[in-house]
A and B are shown apart, each in its own frame.
Chain A
Amino acid sequence: MTSKSLSQPRFKQLKTLRAIAIGLTISFAAPAFADNLPEVQRLIKQGQYPQALEKVDAYLSNKPKDAQGRFLKGLIYTEMNKPAEAISVFTKLTEDYPELPEPYNNLAVLYAQQKQYDKARTALEMAIRTHPSYAIAYENLGDVYAKLASQAYDKALQLDNANATTQNKLALIRDLITTSSKGNVKPTAATPTVATKASAPTAAPIASVVTTTPSAASTAPTKVAEAKPAAIVAPAVAPAPAPAPVAAVAKSDGASEDIAKAIAAWASAWSRKDVKSYLSSYASDFNTPKGMPRKAWEDEREERIAGKPGKISVTYDEPKITVNGDKATAVFRQHYKAPGLSSSTNKTLVLSRTSGKWLIKEENSR
C-alpha cells in the first residue's frame, strides 16, 4: 500500500486531453516568458479558473499580444464552460498567429462540442495545413469526418437518429469530446508516469512544461526539434498501452494519476452541470446516501446540479490519495460555490477500479 500526495496533479479539470496537450505544447514551443504563466497553469490545474483568469488577464495587460497567455485564457474559458468567449480568444489567435496549429485544433474541439462539425473540420484542416504531420489534429479530424459522414448519411438515408446504428455513432463522437476528460486510458494519459518524476524535483516552469508534453512535443514539427528532450520523450510515448513493464512504484503512481484525473473529471462535470458525465464518475454499485434507490439518487443529483440556476463551481485542494490494489481513498477539501451558497467541506471518496476505470464507490463529507 502506497500513499502519495500529488504535488502537481496534471491533466486536471480539462475537458479534453487533446486540447490540453496542445496547451502545453505551445508553452514548450515558446518558452521565452517566465512571468505569471506558470502560476496561471497551476491555478488551471487546480480548477481555480476565476483566479487563473484574473492572473492571465493581468499578464496580458502587459503583453496583450502574447500567444501563450492568450492561449491559456482560451483554455480557461473552455474550462469555465464559456465556449463563446473561448472561441473568440482562439479565433483571434488564429488570425494573429495563423502558423500555430494549436488554436485551430482547440477551436475545432469547441466547435465539435457545439456540433458545428463543418467549422470544426475547417479549423482542423487549417491546423493540418500549417503542420502537415500534426497527429492530434489528424486524429480529431478523422473523428470530425466520421461525424460529418454520419450526418450526411442520416440525411441521405433519412435515418431516424434514435436507431441503433446512429446511436452508436453518436456515442463515438461523445467519446471524442468527453472521453478524455474522464481520464480513461489513452496514449497521452500514459505519459505522466514519466513526466511526474522528471518534473517533480524542479520548480522551473520550462522544465516542467517540457516534460509534461512528451507526446505533443514529439509531434510538434520544426521549430522545437532541437530542444526536444528525446531521451525523455521516447520512453514516455512508447509504453502507451497500459501493460507496459513499469516498476511497481511507477504503477501506483499511474494509479494515483488516474485517480486524480477521475476526481478532476468528476469536479469538472459537476461544475459544468454535465450530469451525465458527473454520474458516470460513480460506480454502478455506488453506496447511495441512506441507501436510497440509485434512480432516486440520480434524479436528486440531476435536480440539484442541472436544475440549479446560475453557475456552480467545484474546486478542491490537493487530494491525499491512498491506493490499495483496485481500491483507493481520496481525501481532500472541497470548495463548492453556487449562487447563494458557498461551502468548504472535507470530502472522502472511496474509489474502485473497474475495467481500468476509477469510479466512486462511496462519498462522505465531514
Chain B
Amino acid sequence: MLGRKFILLGLASCLASSLVTDALAKAPANPKPGKTQVSKVAVKPVAKKAKPGKTAKLVTPLAAVSTAKFAVATPATRLPAVVSDSGPEAQLVTIFKEIEANRLGNALQLTDALLSQHPNYRLASLIKGDLLLARRQDIQTFGAMTGAPPDKVADLRAEAIVRLRGYREKPETKNIPRYLLQMQPDQRHAIVVDTKRSRLYLYENDLSNGGRPRFVADYYVTQGKLGAEKVSEGDKKTPIGVYHVTSSVPRQKLADLYGSGAFPINYPNEWDKRQGRNGSGIWLHGTPSNTYSRPPKASEGCVVLTNQDLDIVAKSLQVGLTPVIISNSVEWLSFDDWAKERNELNKSIDAWRTDWESRDTERYMRHYSKRFKTNDQSLEQFAAQKKQVNASKEWIKVKTENLSVFRNPGKEEVVVVTFDQDYRSNNLNNLMKKRQYWLREDGKWKIIYEGSA
C-alpha cells in the first residue's frame, strides 16, 4: 500500500543524474579554459553540445530547476586529497543519487544522517519532508508540501542547485583564477569568490613553487539579495573587485546575524570610488544560529559562509593582508597563460620603474593612460609636477618590494598593483606603500590611477 511510490524530485533527477558519468567519464578538460559561461535562464534544457559525453538527463516538469546548464570551462574532474569537503555537498549528491535511483529508504537515512550533523539544515529538512511525504502520497515537485511558501522553496531549491553544481565543478588544480597573478610573499592565502556559482575558493600562496596559487578548498557562500555588482548604498548587492581583509570582529562583539565571526573588507576601494560607487560595511561573515546555511541570495551585500566554513577559512585570513577578490564569474587560466600574463605585467612594472629612474619624464609618462588621474591631480598636473621634480634630480633609485598583482574582475582589463616603494634620490628618500591600477590600452598596460595604499 505504501510501497515504493513513484516519486519525482525534479531537482534530484536533473542534478544527480549526470554526476557520476560526468565525473568519471570526463576527458581531462579543455586545453584552454577560456571564460566560464553559466546560463541558467533558458526555459528549455540546454542541448548537450557544449560537452561531448555529457549525459545530463534533464527533466522537464520543473523547467526552472532543470535548466541549470553547467559551465564548460571548469571541468569536474575529481581533485586530489588537497580538497577539504567540509560542506554537505557530497552527502547531498549521494542523497539525490539515491532518490533518482528510487532508493528512497536509503535517501531518507542519509538525509537523517545529514540532519543529525546539522540539525538546522533547512534544505535537508525539506528533502526529508519530501521523502516522508512520498511515502504517503505521490509527490510531483521539490518542496511538495501543500501551501509551501514558494519563495522559501525557491531559495532552498536554488541552494541545492548551486551546492551540487559547486561540487560537480570543482576547479581543476592545474588551472588558476586569472586574478591571482602575483601575491606578495607574506600573503599566505588568497580568496576568490564567484558570485554566479555562490562559491568561495581558498588558494594558498605556494612559495616553494614560485608563488603559484595552489587550490586549497572551496565553500558555498551567500551573496546579496539582489546579486552582485554593487554600485550604491543599500542596493543589496555584493561588490565585484579586488579587496582585502581589513579587520576581524570577534564573535562576542557581533550580533547573532553574523554568526561565528566577521571580516570587513575595503569596499569601496580606490577603483570603486573612482567609478562613483558607494556604500559600506561589506564583510565576510558567518551564519545566524537559527539556520545552518542561508540561501544563495540573502544578504545585504556581504559574503556569508556557514559558521563551520567561516571558522576554517578564518584560520587562513591575515588582517590587512589577505586578498579577497570577488568576481561574478571566475575566469581560469592554464599555468602557461597565467605565467605569461604575470611576466608581461612584471615587465611593464619594471619598465615603469626604470623609466622613472631615467629621469626622462616623457619616457616615464608613456606608462600613464590618458585617463589617468590621482586623487588630487589630473594627468597634466601630474606630468608637470614630475617634470619639475625630475629637473631637480641628479639621480633616482626606485625599488619595488612585496609586489602583488591582482587582476580586477570585470570586462575592462584592469590589474591592481601594490608594492612597497623605496625611492631614493640625491635630495630625497621616501618609503611608501603604493597602489596602482593598470589598464590595458591598445594592447599595452598603462597606469590609470596611483596613490598610497
Contact = CB atoms under 8 A, between A and B. Distances in A.
Nearest to A151: B129
Nearest to A139: B1
A138 B136 CA distance: 10
Interface string B128-160: 111011011000000101111100110010000
B92 interface: no
A150 B135 CA distance: 13
Given A155-B122, A157-B122, A149 B136 contact: yes
Contact of A155 (B2, B125, B136, B143): B125
Chain B interface mostly helix, strand, loop or mixed? Answer: helix
Interface in B58-76: none
A153 B125 contact: yes
B135 A153 contact: no
Contacts of B126: 152-153, 156-157
A146 B132 contact: yes
Given A152-B125, A155-B122, A157-B122, A142 B145 contact: no
Interface in A91-119: none
Contacts of A151: 129
Interface residues of A, number: 19
Contacts of B120: 155
A153 B136 contact: no
Chain A interface mostly helix, strand, loop or mixed? Answer: helix
Interface string A142-183: 100110111111011111000011000000000000000000
Contact of B147 (A149, A155, A158, A165): A165
Contacts, number: 69
Given A145-B136, A146-B136, A158-B122, A153 B1 contact: no
B180 interface: no
A135 interface: yes
B152 A145 contact: no
Interface string B281-308: 0000000001000000000000000000
Given A155-B122, A157-B149, A150 B2 contact: no
Contacts of A135: 1
A233 B153 CA distance: 48
A145 B137 CA distance: 10
B133 A149 contact: yes
B125 A156 contact: yes
A156 B129 contact: yes
A189 interface: no
A17 B334 CA distance: 71
Of listed B1, B136, B148, B153, residue having the most chain A CB within 10 A: B136
A156 B146 contact: no
A317 to B, nearest CB: 42
B123 interface: yes
A141 interface: yes
Contacts of B135: 141-142, 145
Given A157-B148, A165-B146, A138 B1 contact: yes
Nearest to A155: B125
Interface string B226-262: 0000000000000000000000000000000000000
Interface of A: 135, 138, 141-142, 145-146, 148-153, 155-159, 164-165
11 contacts: A142-B136, A148-B128, A152-B128, A153-B145, A155-B122, A157-B122, A157-B126, A157-B145, A157-B149, A158-B152, A165-B145
